[in-house]
């Protein structure tokens, strides 16, 4: 079914996406600003994956970079150039847009292009939660023999502006896009890796956009913070772990990522853009791709890892991965092993 998305759907998608971002997926305030821009331009269309033919092609659009980067910039022209260039490269065979993940900004990736280019968004992200690396949002295509990744990227302003095209294996192309984001001041818009609907159905996260919208509505319908949190936990079958003041917060930028840690009483969290581990008294209790998320209690808002401040009063929740809509990449042990190398210094 094709659905015309409303402004309220957009607001809900940002809040629900922020929660499913698990510490990453973009900043809430930037997502809300983007909603204003999208619906000032028109109304995007969301299409269920079952409405498309199994041989139809769709391409993923994503924002690649570090959420805390101060000089990030992407124009509408750059976003459209990326998708249109991919469509031309594919002989104008693309039938829709998919986003790479759920997050405050990433859930609505492609909505603006949908309006400006009259292309539907397909309700089947590459992943139903946010993840740090491009490979994790690439539907296990790197395991397809002789698969060649294609990526068009653009971003940056004035002297930082870059745009380009890269083709090769998924690891090389993902690293190239990540390096481009650094050169662009922290962020690039990417259109990448066209796939068939049949492949997306097997490896992606059908209906994860709808899930983010419904989660957002439930959060927003709560009147108090306790009600909001209860609605989230009920919908996701999650658990409230701890609430308190943040201590020992640190964040460093490493190769275009935010890497850091924070403590709250006996609990310790690490993040690589998204929260990677939750430990109590030195013992790891939960690990990505389980959803670990923080909420600013005073502002009654989901708060990502890059926006945490020392002394901030936050609540931490945990949702088992079995309750999320996840890509097959989230069961790929080779991809998950990279997490240990990145966060070993902060465990």
| pLDDT tens digits, one per residue of 67-86 | 567 788 999 999 999 999 99
pTM of the entire structure? 0.92
Contact 152, 82 (CB under 8 A): yes
Phi and psi at residue 152, in whole multiples of 5°? -110, 130
> Tell me: the pLDDT tens digits for 107-145?
999 999 999 999 999 999 999 999 998 889 899 998 998
pLDDT more than 70, % of the chain: 98
Position 347 confidence tier, pLDDT thresholds 50, 70, 90: low
Residues 197/199/200/204 CA torsion (nearest 10 deg): 170
| Number of residues written out for the chain | 347
Q: How is residue 228 written in tokens?
A: 């909001």
> Tell me: the pLDDT tens digits for 296-331?
999 999 999 999 999 999 999 999 999 999 999 999
> Tell me: the pLDDT tens digits for 210-238?
999 999 999 999 999 999 999 999 999 99
Question: Cα angle vertex 263, ends 32, 278, to 5°?
Answer: 80
Task: Provide the pLDDT for residue 66.
Answer: 64
- How many Cα atoms within 13 Å fall on the side-chain side of residue 323? 17
Q: Is the link from the previous residue into 109 a cis peptide, with omega within 30 of 0?
A: no
271-286 mean pLDDT: 95
Alpha-carbon span 314 to 316, nearest angstrom = 7
> 47-82 b/e with 16+ CB inside 10 Å = b?
bbbeebeeebbbbbbbbbbbbbbeebbbeeebbbbb
Quick one: which H or E segment has residue 198? Answer: helix 197-203
Cα separation values, 312 from 46, 155, 166, 242, Å: 37, 33, 42, 13
Contact 291, 106 (CB under 8 A): no
Q: How is residue 21 written in tokens?
A: 């971002």
What does pLDDT average to over the chain? 94
């Amino acid at each position: 079914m094709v659905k015309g998305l409303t402004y309220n759907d957009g607001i809900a998608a940002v809040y629900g996406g922020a929660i499913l971002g698990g510490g990453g997926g973009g900043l809430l305030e930037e997502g809300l600003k983007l909603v204003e821009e999208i619906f000032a331009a028109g109304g995007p269309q969301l299409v269920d994956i079952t409405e498309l033919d199994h041989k139809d092609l769709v391409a993923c659009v994503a924002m690649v970079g570090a959420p805390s980067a101060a000089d990030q910039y992407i124009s509408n022209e750059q976003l459209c150039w990326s998708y249109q260039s991919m469509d031309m490269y594919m002989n104008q065979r693309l039938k829709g847009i998919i986003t790479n993940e759920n997050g405050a900004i990433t859930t609505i990736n492609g909505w603006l292009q949908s309006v400006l280019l009259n292309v539907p968004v397909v309700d089947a992200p590459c992943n139903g939660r946010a993840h740090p690396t491009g490979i994790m949002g690439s539907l296990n295509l790197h395991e397809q023999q002789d698969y060649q990744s294609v990526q068009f990227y653009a971003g940056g302003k004035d002297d930082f502006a870059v745009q380009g095209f890269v083709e090769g294996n998924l690891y090389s192309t993902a690293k190239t896009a990540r390096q481009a984001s650094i050169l662009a001041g922290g962020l690039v818009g990417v259109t990448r890796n066209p796939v068939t609907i049949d492949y997306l159905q097997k490896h992606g996260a059908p209906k994860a956009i709808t899930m983010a919208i419904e989660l957002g509505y439930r959060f927003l319908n709560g009147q108090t913070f306790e009600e909001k949190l209860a609605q989230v936990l009920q919908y996701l079958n999650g658990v409230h772990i701890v609430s308190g003041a943040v201590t020992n917060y640190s964040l460093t930028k490493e190769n275009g990522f935010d890497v850091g840690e924070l403590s709250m009483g006996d609990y310790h969290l690490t993040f690589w853009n998204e929260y990677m581990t939750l430990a109590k008294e030195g013992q790891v209790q939960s690990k990505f791709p389980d959803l670990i998320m923080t909420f600013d209690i005073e502002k009654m808002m989901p708060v990502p890892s890059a926006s945490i401040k020392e002394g901030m009063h936050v609540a931490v929740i945990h949702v088992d991965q079995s309750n999320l809509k996840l890509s097959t990449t989230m069961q790929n042990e080779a991809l998950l092993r990279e997490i240990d190398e990145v966060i070993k210094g902060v465990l």
